[in-house]
A = this chain, B = another copy of it.
Amino acid sequence: MSDQKTRFRIVFSGSGGQGLVSAAIILAETAVMYENLEAVQSQSYGAAARGGATRSDVIISDGPINLPKIDQPGILICMTQEAYTKFSNLIRPGGLLITDTKYVQTTRKVDARQIELPLYQTVIEEIGNPVVLNICVLGALIGMKGIVKKSSVEKILAEKFPPSFMAGNQMALDIGFEMGFEYAE
């Protein structure tokens, strides 16, 4: 239990239609199926979901995960202003906050590394289809933090989606990865 070297607590937050639950599940499945890690993935729905700000949590570890709930995410991704307002105070001191420049105007200093990326804008300009934004977000995350290999995500994408989706997903993953990799730690 004390020998765990890998542990990520990640919250994807935004609004209902952005596919962030799918991004979280893809990340969790990639970690488990191709990286020999353990993962717990969850979403809490309630008044917040009806109001608009949703969150989807992933914990990834090289050992058993006992507490599925994330109180302080080490990595917080905010894809709407409302999500930023609601969740940015939760971030673990010294953590990482990723926001999208189209959706979020950062208004306060949190004790975390803050990275603002034009993910939405780039997806629209280079792919023209916002439906793959969630895959771009995932690409940015793994470009920046590792967590899992990009080739492993590609395997899961190929398993989960029909072949006709692969080109768009691949482009979105590549674009996000490159943008994130500029900030790799």
A94 within 8 A of B: no
Taking a contact as CB atoms under 8 Å apart, the answer to whether B42 and A46 are in contact is no
CA distance A3 to B25 in the complex (A): 34
Taking a contact as CB atoms under 8 Å apart, the answer to whether A68 and B45 are in contact is no
Taking a contact as CB atoms under 8 Å apart, the answer to whether B42 and A42 are in contact is yes
Taking a contact as CB atoms under 8 Å apart, the answer to whether B32 and A40 are in contact is no
Q: A25-B21, A68-B68, A68-B69 are in contact. Are A40 and B41 (CB under 8 A)?
A: no
A93 within 8 A of B: no
- A184 CB contacts on chain B under 8 angstroms: none
Interface flags for A49-84 (1: CB within 8 Å of B; 0: not) read: 110000000000000110011000000000000000
Interface flags for A27-44 (1: CB within 8 Å of B; 0: not) read: 011011100001111111
Q: Name the interface size band of chain A.
A: 20 to 34
Q: A32-B50, A69-B68 are in contact. Are A43 and B45 (CB under 8 A)?
A: no
- Which residue of B29, B47, B49, B69 is within 8 Å of A45 (Cβ)? B29
Which residue on B lies nearest to A59, using beta carbons? Answer: B44
CA distance A42 to B29 in the complex (A): 13
Interface flags for A90-132 (1: CB within 8 Å of B; 0: not) read: 0000000000000000000000000000000000000000000
Can you give 23 A-B contacts (C-beta < 8 A)?
Answer: A21-B25, A28-B45, A29-B45, A29-B49, A31-B45, A32-B49, A33-B50, A38-B44, A38-B45, A38-B47, A39-B45, A40-B42, A40-B43, A41-B42, A41-B43, A41-B45, A42-B43, A42-B68, A44-B65, A44-B68, A46-B64, A68-B68, A68-B69
